[in-house]
Structure 1
Amino acid sequence: MPDEPNKGGGLMANPTMIQPSPSRQANRTPLVLIHDGSGLIFSYFWLGTLGRAVYGISNPNFETGGGFEGGLRQMAQTYVPFIKSVVPSGKVLLGGWSLGGLLALEIAHLLAQDNDINVSGILLLDSAYPKVAREIKTSDHFDRALSSSNASLGAQVQEAFSNARKMIDEWQPPIWEDKDTFPPPAILLKATDYVLGQGDEVATVDIARKTQRLGWDEYEHKFIRTVLYIAGHHFNIFAEDKVPELTKKVMMACTMLDTQF
């Protein structure tokens, strides 16, 4: 994977165009992908052509290492204007890997009251429901996500992961209280393999791996319409040998959400 922070780090504008819309497919709903726990979006540049405009949002506090006192909700509030700067009206698809999927859900909740934008669907890229009871010995294994040989960048990524863990632990998933509104339909892209632990440890990201929807059945809203399986474990789904299949499944998910099944 590329190491350069300008491939989606804090040095780039927010949002960053990852793929332009092909002229003959300009009417397809744009996709906005939110960063994972690293705060970066460089992994999304590995995706093959999706046939629509694709934007990425990275953590604007990545370089300073600053967190968000208001947690994931404050992050989502910060990201709404970024999205509206490229999709001021009409339909939009939101998604993200891991933490990015949680942020996509939070942003969708905020945009539910927006008269100009319609979130037509959410892509959860191996994003597990974080409120599953933890009754087994776990390990974070966040070091597996670090691919950079740059010590400074690696320290910034580690700080971002530390902030992300804290915010996820404190996060209360949004509830749609209006009886006439519901979460947008979602598709879960679920990794088939477990991260290898040490001894009897299970990686935190795999606590709900054995459940069909990565624990989301415990969420009040049953918004996941279907599950598409992708090769690999949580931290290597963007590996070179796996990204062609991932691209195919992301395209499939976008098409399904576009047509509302």
Structure 2
Amino acid sequence: MLPNLLYRYLRQRLPSYMIPNAYICLKKLPISINGKIDLEALPPPSRNHYLPLQYVAPKTPIEKKLVEIWRELLQIKKIGIYDNFFELGGHSLLAMKLHDKIESNCNKNILIIDIYKNPRLIDLANLIEISPNIKLHSALLPIILADEAVPKMFLIHPVSGVASSYLQLANVMNSSISSLYGIHNPRFSELDNNFKSIEEMASAYIEIIKSVQMNGSYIIGGWSFGGIVAYEIVKQMEMQGDKIDKLLLIDAYNISSIDSEALCNHIDQSNNNFIINKIATEDERKLRLQTNLNNKLALKYRPNLKIKCEQVHLLKALTPETDAIFQPTEYPYNAWEDYIEKSKLNITYIYAKHNDLFSEKNVKEVAAFLEKSLNEKEKDSLYTKN
């Protein structure tokens, strides 16, 4: 009885995403030798510790529409208004599909982060009811929407083609200093009609960026592969006469200056391992195919022109991956020195692995890097080692 009372008490005081799903009654809390609660000694919840939720059918038109969408995405027949999207099997890719279907079926615009903050159907339905009827480009992932007076930041997707990695920034970045948009590949599911080059991709992404910001000073960046595309976007926009305020490279390497044969072998081996381990879902298959395609585009790409952008900020990961084909210290400027003047590079170091930058333990440092870059004013030399 106590867990039910506690659950009802918390529901009146906390947003749904902060309410625990399981409750364990302990005689006392385990204490470490330092006098603090020993989290590792806490018992893991078993099936009996989760509260059984009573099924309540949808009533409003929005609730009924959401049930239809959830049934299609999750392949579950019986869904009630108190069910949780992620507890039923939802994940980041399905959250993106849910976001798109809400836009197309309900003619409403919400942030994808709102799905994470309102995972229960009833809470999401209530949010949709009061959301505006505004439609953005389907490839835009609005993560933070700040006041119109502050700058807009655009982050290009990594090699997967999906920008959902950036969603965690919404929880840790100062939402008053910049709006933040992720850009994912609008042709993600059209593998036969995908981009044939980084240049073609960048040209299409410029149109997406300008659907939100027609002019002014632009802030563009990306993680890994996204940084390569961001560089090409900056190059093309400068040729068109646009002003780029900042280029943000989140551990992005100019791989055209790195041993391409070793990279090709590494990518092929990675793909072979994935095939050997079997592909569990259609979404995973698409992710792998998109990753493979983008890796090939990156290997073919040649920057071929220095950019004029006065502020280039590079976040450099110093901990090598287990199967890395080179050490981060081999390329102190991530191989960009032929295309970006060293005097314009502001380098910030992070002791983390490249693939872990947007994990829970590192995302705060990434957010701090972005905030610091936003606040940086132009000066004679921006090359610093932090």
Band of TM-score, shorter chain = 0.7 to 0.9
TM-score, structure 2 length as denominator? 0.56
- Is 1:86 paired with 2:212? yes
Alpha-carbon distance, 1:28 to partner: 2.7
Aligned to 1:158: 288
Paired residues in the alignment total 240
Map residues 55-134 of structure 1 onto 2, 5 A cutoff.
Answer: 55-66=181-192, 67-69=194-196, 71-115=197-241, 117-134=242-259
Asked if structure 2 preserves the Cα contact closer than 8 Å seen for 1:9 and 1:62, the reply is no
Aligned-pair distance for 1:8? 5.0
Letter in 2 for 1:166: K
Structure 2 match to 1:222: 341
Deviation at 1:192, TM superposition (A): 1.5
Which of the pair has more CA radius of gyration?
2
Alignment of 1:152-231 (within 5 A): 152-176=282-306, 182-197=308-323, 202-203=324-325, 206=326, 209-217=329-337, 219-222=338-341, 224-231=344-351
SS at match of 2:239: coil
Q: 1:64 to 1:37 in 2, by over 3 A?
A: same
Counterpart of 2:378?
A: 260
Q: Tell which deviates more after alignment, 8-17 or 161-170.
A: 8-17
Match for 1:39: what amino acid? Answer: G
Counterparts of 1:101 and 1:159, CA distance in 2: 20
1:253 is displaced (CA, Å) by: 1.6
**Which of the pair has the greater relative contact order for Cα pairs under 8 Å at 6+ separation?**
1
Name the TM-score, length of structure 1 as normaliser.
0.81
Q: Distance in 1 between matches of 2:141 and 2:331?
A: 34
Range with bigger deviation, 124-133 or 81-90: 124-133
Q: Which amino acid aligns with 2:255?
A: P
Indicate which of 360, 368, 371 corresponds to 1:240: 360
**C-alpha distance in 2, partners of 1:185/1:76?**
20
More helix by share: 2
RMSD over aligned Cα, in angstroms? Answer: 2.9
The aligned amino acid for 2:336 is W
Q: 1:136 to 1:155 in 2, by over 3 A?
A: closer
